[in-house]
Amino acid sequence: GAVVSQHPSRVICKSGTSVKIECRSLDFQATTMFWYRQFPKQSLMLMATSNEGSKATYEQGVEKDKFLINHASLTLSTLTVTSAHPEDSSFYICSARGGLSYNEQFFGPGTRLTVL
């Protein structure tokens, strides 16, 4: 149980385009989902906290107009990187909290974004 999926796993796009990443909790209802960004050999940096049916809470320094988050249901959250640029190239990981294990976050496999 407690499986989180992400799609796509890898995406390459041209500068200026927008990319949508989906995060799904497959076998539990996720009351809260989180989006992280991770650069090579660095830690996970929390970008935003997403609660179903409400606006996401962004961490300081994260542009909410650039990283659009939608949490339309208890099993799906999406992150859209708008007008992507090469500096947005990174590993984007979502996690979900829910079910019986409140203290644990379940992570998706991540999405490798490369902006040319």
Where along the sequence are the contacts to other proteins (CB under 8 A)?
32, 34, 41-46, 49, 93, 95, 97, 103-110
Q: 14 or 40: whose CB is closer to other proteins? A: 40
Can you state the percent helix, strand and coil of the chain, rounding each to 5? 5, 55, 45
Q: How far apart are CA 71 and CA 107, in angstroms?
A: 16
Q: 14 or 41: whose CB is closer to other proteins? A: 41
By the 8 A CB rule, do 77 and 92 touch? no
CB of 49 to other proteins, least distance (A): 5
Q: 31 or 82: whose CB is closer to other proteins? A: 31
CB of 17 to other proteins, least distance (A): 24
CB of 108 to other proteins, least distance (A): 6
Name the strand (E) or helix (H) holding 107: strand 106-107
By the 8 A CB rule, do 19 and 81 touch? yes
